[in-house]
Amino acid sequence: MSDIDLVPEKIRSLWPPVILMLLSAAFTAWAQRYGDTPRLMPTLAGVATTVLALLDLLSRFDNRLGAGLRLALGADFRNREMTHDPAVAREAGQIGWMVACVVAMLVIGILPAIPLFITLYMRFWGRQPWIPSLIAAFVVLGFVSVVFEVLLDYTLYRGVLFDPKGFHAW
């Protein structure tokens, strides 16, 4: 079949629908622990999604059934939203930076984390020169502190290390 060959192997792999099918099946099973009223809607949604994910799985096979499902259910990949295809290592790196930003905000607080993350990200992931990186970092820090801390008198999170309440604030 030609329509499926244009899409990178990674995207049309069988794994996404398999994982989604397992997730929705697990959710359905989990819902059965609750009473009649609270489980009714979750069960309906869970079962329906499991069936849909199964159809998604079948539509990815390169046979007549798959092609038929792709046509009938609009399961092809003609209008992909994200068209570039970065390498997995780069994706992991990018997501890693994002996670590091959240961790920094939670540990040392939002205000120090902002300039730290912006500077380091721009310098080392974005390969920007030091000066613009520092300028961007402190412009954002200034904006956030003026708007929240000064104008609105709001205390931004100080981080587990500096918040007197520590983990209790969570």
Partner 1 sequence: MRNRFIRSLTVAAAALVACTGIASAEWPEKPITFVVPYSPGGGFDAYVRAVAPEMEKILGTEVVVENIPGAGGQKGASTVYRSDPDGYTIGIWNVPGLTVPQLLGKSTGYDLTDVTWIGNLATSNYALAVKADSPFNSLKELCSQGKPFKHSDTGPASTSSVTARVAMTLIDCPIQNVTGYKGSTDTIIGLMRGEVDATIKPLAQLLKYRKSGDVKILMTFEETRSAEDIPTSTELGYPDFANFDLRRIVGGPPGIPADIQEKLSAALLQAADAPSVQEWAASSNNALDPVGAEEASAIMQRLMDFYGSYKDVLAQ
Partner 2 sequence: MGFDVLIDSMVSVFSSGSAIYVLLGVLLGLCFGVIPGLGGTTALALLIPVTFSMEALDAMYLAGGVMGATSFGGSITAILLNTPGTAPNAATTFDGYPLARQGKAGLAIGASATASALGGLIGLVTLLFVIPVARSVVLAFGPAEFFLLTMLGLVAIAVSSRGKLLRGLIAGGFGLMLAFVGTDTVSGELRFTLDTDYLWDGIPLVPTLTGMFAISQMIELGLKGGSVAGAVGDARQKISGVWDGVKAVFVHWPVLLRGSAIGTIIGAVPGLGGTVAAFMAYSSTVQSSRDPESFGKGNIVGVIAPESANNAKDGGSLVPTVAFGIPGSAETALFLGILVLHGIDPGPSILLDNQQEVYGLIVALTLSAVGASIIGLMFSRWLVLITYVNVHVLVPVVVTVSLTGVYVLDGKPGDVILAMIMGIVGYMMLRFDYPRLTLVIALVLGETAERSFHQTQMISDNDMLGFMAGRPQSLILIALTVLTLLLPALRRIRIAR
Q: Is 22 in the site for partner 2 (CB under 8 A)?
A: no
Q: Is 80 in the site for partner 2 (CB under 8 A)?
A: yes
Q: Is 167 in the site for partner 1 (CB under 8 A)?
A: no
Instruction: Tell which positions 141-160 bind partner 1, by CB under 8 A.
Output: 149-150, 153-155, 158
Q: Is 33 in the site for partner 1 (CB under 8 A)?
A: no
Q: How far is the CB of 149 from partner 2 (least distance, A)?
A: 11
**Number of residues near partner 1 (by CB under 8 A):** 12
Candidates 87, 88, 129, 164: give the one binding partner 1 (CB under 8 A).
164
With helix as H, strand as E and coil as C, how does the chain read? CCCCCCCCCCCCCCHHHHHHHHHHHHHHHHHCCCCHHHHHHHHHHHHHHHHHHHHHHHHCCCCHHHHHHHHHHCCCCCCCCCCCCCCHHHHHHHHHHHHHHHHHHHHHCHHHHHHHHHHHHHHHHCCCCHHHHHHHHHHHHHHHHHHHHHHCCCCCCCCCCCCCCHHHHC
Q: How far is the CB of 21 from partner 1 (least distance, A)?
A: 31
Beta carbon nearer to partner 1, 12 or 158 = 158
Q: Is 165 in the site for partner 1 (CB under 8 A)?
A: yes
